[in-house]
Amino acid sequence: MLDAILITHEHSDHVSGLVALARRLGVPIFITRLTAPAIPWGEFTPRLDCFQAGTTFSVGDIEVDSFTIPHDAIDPVGFCFRAHGIKVGLVTDLGYVTDSIKFHLRGADLLVLESNHDLEMLKVGPYPWSVKQRVMGRRGHLSNDVVCDFIRADLDSSINTLVLGHLSEHNNHPEIVRNLANRALDGARRALFTRLVVAEPKRQTEVFIY
């Protein structure tokens, strides 16, 4: 049973089922004050718990840290969750990894990070050039190469499980992500200490138990 719904930003691939889910469950929706008006609520009156990006709040016994991320949305955020001595980071839909994001991810045990596209696949893929520029931009999405640079230079030694997700179905492939990330972990001498999981599109990811 879910106790709450947390929203990172208003883009349709993240909120298309929000109203139906919230209506069914009747649980509070944690969302930034700026993002809330951008959701097409229709006649539904949601139970909103609005927060300002950068603040910390609680859902039951879980403490949630929110932080701003660079994406072409109104007020996009990432989250870190802390409970019982375990910390989990969740960061998707961002054009690059800022120093602030690196700071917030310190001490995480598990990190879910976007590895959205292979740059060459994106360049020759089916998207219009304007969309390709958006995806590649500083407020777009992380490429496999940028993620690998992050792994080699900035992956915190506390992270024992790295989940790479939000893969583009048109401009990426799980095996490309897996191969490149494993090489980056080897280069960072983290392969023996950090388990890599690739969250594949339309496939349920395993349950992580700590």
20: in domain? no
pLDDT range class, residue 197, cuts 50, 70, 90:
very high
43: in domain? no
Q: The domain spanning residue 166 has which CATH number?
A: 3.60.15.10
**pTM summary value:** 0.95
pLDDT range class, residue 194, cuts 50, 70, 90:
very high
144: in domain? yes
Query: pLDDT tens digit string along 109-148?
Result: 999 999 999 999 999 999 999 999 999 999 999 999 999 9
106: in domain? yes
Long-range contacts of 25-33 (CB under 8 A, 24+ apart): 27/2, 27/3, 28/4, 29/4, 29/5, 30/4, 30/5, 30/6, 30/57, 30/59, 30/64, 31/6, 31/7, 32/7, 32/66, 32/75, 32/77, 33/75
Domain that includes residue 158, residue range: 85-198
When divided into structural domains, the chain yields a total of 1
Listed in order, strand segments (DSSP E) in the chain are: 5-6, 29-32, 48-51, 56-59, 62-68, 77-83, 86-91, 110-114, 161-165, 195-198
Residue percentage of the chain with pLDDT more than 70: 100
User: Mean per-residue pLDDT for 2-27?
Assistant: 96
pLDDT at residue number 1: 79
54: in domain? no
Cβ atoms 83, 63 nearer than 8 A: yes
133: in domain? yes
pLDDT at residue number 72: 97
Using alpha carbons only, what angle is made at residue 165 by residues 104 and 175, rounded to the nearest 5 degrees?
A: 130
Query: pLDDT tens digit string along 102-111?
Result: 999 999 999 9
148: in domain? yes
115: in domain? yes
Query: pLDDT tens digit string along 29-73?
Result: 999 999 999 999 999 999 999 999 999 999 999 999 999 999 999
Q: 43-75 in b/e burial notation, b at 16+ Cβ within 10 A?
A: eeebebbebebeeeeebeeeebbbbbbbbbbeb
